[in-house]
Amino acid sequence: MTRGDSTAKAAGIVTLVVAALLGSAYVLGRSLVPDQQAQRHSTGITSNADAPGYADQPSGGEPSGAPSVSGSAGPAQAGQDGSGRDAGDDQLFGAHATTGSPRLALTFDDGPDPQYTPQVLALLREFDVRATFCVVGENAQNHPDLIQAIVNGGHTLCNHSWHHDVSLGTRSTDAIRSDLLRTNDAIRAAVPDAPIVWYRQPGGAWTYPVVSVAHQLGMTPLHWSVDPSDWELPGAGKITATVLAQAEPGSVVLLHDAGGNRQGTVDALRRILPDLTARFELEALPTDPT
Ligand SMILES: [Zn+2]
């Protein structure tokens, strides 16, 4: 091989690597852009009093201005789940966005929370509805009684990472695996035999590694199809209107029972449940997904 050949080959490899990196950054950027837009939008029209909600961090976590993750995504790092219903299939990496049946599933993220989770559970009980709770590991550790209440109510569980790490999917597979296992351990410290067969990536920021690790650990990636952006605190009326307008057979509805002031979500739920239960069969996502 001549010097010129090897130089050309090296240049070719460099070009490929750069292209791959740019491609990854592009995909990551696309997946986070809606959160960034929502973040700017929300902070532009509301007071700081609601900041913990926008941060979407578990109560007691760091302030919204100090996200725990590294990277270049800016405010979206502390972003909420949601604003992702327009995500294309290429951004979901196979994560389920519907129930796969005519039944509709309500999902509640970021808890459990001692103020709002009991209110949500009481409403679900009142309307004889079972749902799925995507819980954050450290919140499960802090509130094992609420994990027990969720399971005792006939609801199912979904792993939502230890600390709501929106960038978890960009970490090493070892780090991802450790985070998900730690979360499952916290859940099982409360309910030892709890089936945990779903994983929802915070912010819906799916990557191939996080989907792969979830599968390896026996969990199916779960996205959503109806998102009223309740974490933006649009008010119970708007949350209600969005859910009722967009719900259809197979919908997976994204709501939050923690991460900020969720009274609007609770109030909306009281209006949503009579309508949805009249139009659909509601289910807790099954613990034996295929
Ligand atoms: Zn979340």
pLDDT digits (tens, 9 = 90+) for 123-177: 999 999 999 999 999 999 999 999 999 999 999 999 999 999 999 999 999 999 9
Q: Average of pLDDT values for 181-187?
A: 98
Distances (CA, A) of 161 to 51, 105, 122, 213, 255: 21, 20, 25, 12, 17
**Which position has the token pair 């499952």?**
184
User: If you average pLDDT over every residue of the chain, what do you get?
Assistant: 80
In this predicted structure, what is the pLDDT of residue 44? 31
pLDDT tens sequence across 273-288 = 999 999 999 999 999 8
Tokens of 237: 């009326």
Report how far ligand 1's centroid is from the alpha carbon of 236 (Å). Answer: 19
In this predicted structure, what is the pLDDT of residue 90? 82
Asked whether the beta carbons of 95 and 223 are under 8 A apart, the reply is yes
Q: Which amino acid is at 4?
A: G
Residue 121 has pLDDT above 80, yes or no: yes
Report how far ligand 1's centroid is from the alpha carbon of 257 (Å). Answer: 10
Q: Average of pLDDT values for 66-92?
A: 52
In this predicted structure, what is the pLDDT of residue 80? 73
pLDDT confidence of 86, banded at 50, 70, 90?
Answer: low
Residue 74 has pLDDT above 90, yes or no: no
In this predicted structure, what is the pLDDT of residue 54? 30
- How far is Cα 181 from Cα 186, in angstroms, rounded to an integer? 9
Report how far ligand 1's centroid is from the alpha carbon of 179 (Å). Answer: 15
Report how far ligand 1's centroid is from the alpha carbon of 188 (Å). Answer: 20
Report how far ligand 1's centroid is from the alpha carbon of 254 (Å). Answer: 9
- How far is Cα 274 from Cα 94, in angstroms, rounded to an integer? 32
To the nearest 10°, report the CA torsion of 239, 247, 199, 146. Answer: 50
pLDDT confidence of 88, banded at 50, 70, 90?
Answer: confident
- How far is Cα 96 from Cα 220, in angstroms, rounded to an integer? 8
Q: Average of pLDDT values for 110-119?
A: 98
pLDDT confidence of 256, banded at 50, 70, 90?
Answer: very high
Report how far ligand 1's centroid is from the alpha carbon of 12 (Å). Answer: 41
pLDDT confidence of 263, banded at 50, 70, 90?
Answer: very high
Catalytic positions: 109, 256
Report how far ligand 1's centroid is from the alpha carbon of 96 (Å). Answer: 16
pLDDT tens sequence across 211-229 = 999 999 999 999 999 999 9
In this predicted structure, what is the pLDDT of residue 288? 82
What's the whole-model pTM score? 0.75
pLDDT confidence of 102, banded at 50, 70, 90?
Answer: very high
Report how far ligand 1's centroid is from the alpha carbon of 255 (Å). Answer: 9
In this predicted structure, what is the pLDDT of residue 2? 41
